[in-house]
A and B are shown apart, each in its own frame.
Chain A
């Protein structure tokens, strides 16, 4: 479905727990990105990675961590340090030199 898969679609987290959101792409894209979407605030960048084993913080990285061990995968961990994690999380990827993003279908995280 569009070459980039996010799972799960819905996720519930208890206070104090870490949770990991999966993002896998089979598009052979070099760069991958994680955005957070809140009502009225658009898409805000959490982390991005342009190459395997390298990643950079975005605008709202506090309380999140990522890894990029494989070109196809860019998992996002929401740690207990993230005080307001309830949001819709979107993963995206793009080719080198091509700036159009392909987005995944998103994961909706809710703290219970």
Chain B
């Protein structure tokens, strides 16, 4: 089955700086890669996703890049703000219907004012 590794486990950045979280996956058949944000005490929420037919996707201050050859994908947050502080999870799955997501172990991002 799929295995997703996520680094780093914790990340602290100054407000206004950029943050990058990286994930690798093992199954070359995986072709859907979402990112979830979980604020303290709340449910995970989808913030951005990418499919394997594109290499990069942006949504305002967040972007995701995908390298299929190396089997890794990354979340980039620019101009970080205090409300970006949360735990971020990457995930991967094959695109064959309602297939289950395999999640990374999470990154706790702290924005320092």
Contact = CB atoms under 8 A, between A and B. Distances in A.
Interface of A: 2, 30-31, 33, 35, 40-45, 48, 50, 58-59, 90, 94, 96-97, 99-101, 103-106
Interface in B73-105: 89, 93, 95, 97-105
Contact of A100 (B6, B46, B99, B104): B46
Contacts, number: 58
B100 A48 contact: yes
Nearest to B51: A99
B67 interface: no
A90 B43 CA distance: 8
Contacts of B97: 50, 96-97
Given A90-B43, A99-B93, A100-B46, A40 B105 contact: yes
Task: Give me the 3 closest cross-chain CB pairs, A-B, nearest first.
Answer: A31-B98, A42-B105, A103-B43
Interface in B43-57: 43-46, 49
Contacts of B44: 43, 90, 101, 103
Interface of B: 1, 6, 9, 32, 34, 36, 42-46, 49, 89, 93, 95, 97-106
B105 A41 contact: yes
Given A2-B43, A104-B43, A99 B101 contact: yes
Given A42-B105, A45-B100, A100 B1 contact: no
5 contacts: A48-B98, A99-B32, A99-B93, A100-B49, A103-B43
Contacts of A94: 98
B28 to A, nearest CB: 18
B109 to A, nearest CB: 15
Contact of A101 (B6, B46, B102, B105): B46
Given A43-B89, A106-B43, 9 more contacts: A33-B100, A35-B103, A42-B103, A45-B102, A48-B98, A50-B97, A96-B98, A99-B32, A105-B43
